[in-house]
Amino acid sequence: MPPFSAPLRNADWILDLDEPVSAVSVAPDGSRAAALTIEGHVVVVELATGRRLHSVRAHEGGGFRLAWHPREDRFATSGQDGLVRIWDGVEVRETERFQAGAAWVEQLAWSPDGSVLAAGAGKGVVLWRPQGGIFHKFLEHRSTVAALAWWRDGRRLAAACYGGVSVYDPVAGDLLEVLPWKTSLLSLAVSPDHRWVVAGTQEMSVQIWPLPFVEGEELAMSGYAAKVRDLSWHHSGRYLATGGGEEIMVWDCGGRGPAGSTPRILEGHLGRVSALAYQSRGHVLASGGQDGLIFFWNAGKSSQALRQIRLTGAVTALAWTPDDLKVLAGTQDGRLALASTPV
């Protein structure tokens, strides 16, 4: 059955923000959501209706990242002014800010318990505590930090750049190891079971390091049509979904891992896949593409899409709601949309 026979549904709501969306995030109680635009504005909406609640200028020169705290009613933003700003999620007023050490801040990632915020700025990574300020700086990277990823238990933080992945102890501030790669890395994800560190590469491939890492045991998966910028793990750690073209490749990382295996191929997008997100507890994968399509898949069972949603602009960001029932999407043509999963 071809992917385009997947039932077509309308989005629950669509809000025009008038500016391309760079990042989206949902409050931990599911009542509100926020979007950051490339012009540097933050828009907070009522999630159920899409009603605009607040709109503020967050960053001069433009915005890069927005991340809601995993447990509390506040969120962080970063942009081209070198600032990370922390916002009250109800009143949308700034409560704290810090300079991350470079002219722009491209990466943000809360630790799983929300006790630490990691920021990637230029060639450095800084760790910050709410009401405590910056407490560690890692400045030894060979190039701009392209991605950050926390271990699920919060005991490790990884940063990807040219030359490999640096793994840190965020409490002691120690560099624990470097997982080597010869050129540039673009994306990064750590499996929820802590068995694998995965990165998308400049060479249109996916690099995998098994943990604990032994030199020579790393894996490389090639065959992609474009640079691999999008990665998402199933919550069990068994399945890894990867972009890198119009197709989605889903690798089975159970047992001995993906070495020598063939991925499941998900076809349906008419443009490059630009966002991937698995549910936090369920089995559904959401994908967004430059074609303006959102697909829902149960990739562990079938290559047939469960549902499709059509938007007017390229999808730039996806985020599941805390109940795993809906996906928030931002687009290049400046729209924010909410779409319901079929299961």
User: What is the tens place of the pLDDT at every residue in 20-50?
Assistant: 999 999 999 999 999 999 999 999 999 999 9
Give the angle subtended at the CA of 194 by the CAs of 67 and 326, to the nearest 5°: 40
Q: What is the dotted CATH code of the domain comprising 20-139?
A: 2.130.10.10
Q: What's the pLDDT at 4?
A: 56
Confidence check: pLDDT of 339 > 80: yes
Q: What is the pLDDT of residue 1?
A: 40
DSSP-derived secondary structure letter, 123: T
Please answer whether residues 267 and 247 qualify as being in contact, where contact means their C-beta atoms are separated by less than 8 angstroms: yes
Residue 343's pLDDT is 79
Locus of tokens 């700086």:
137
Q: Is the pLDDT of residue 140 over 90?
A: no
Q: Which of the 8 DSSP states describes residue 225?
A: S
Question: Residue 81 has what pLDDT?
Answer: 96
Average pLDDT for the chain:
96
What is the rounded average pLDDT of the residues 282-297? 98
pLDDT at 113 over 60: yes
Single out the residue of 73, 67, 65 nearest to residue 89, CA to CA: 73
Look at the block and give the residue holding tokens 């995998």.
208
Round to whole Å and give the CA distance between 127 and 178: 19
Rounded Cα distance, 17 and 55, in Å = 10
Contact 32, 25 (CB under 8 A): no
Helices then strands (H, E): number in the chain?
A: 0, 33
Residues of the chain with pLDDT > 70: what percent? 99
Q: Do 243 and 274 touch, CB atoms closer than 8 A?
A: yes
Compare 2 and 121 and report the one with higher pLDDT: 121
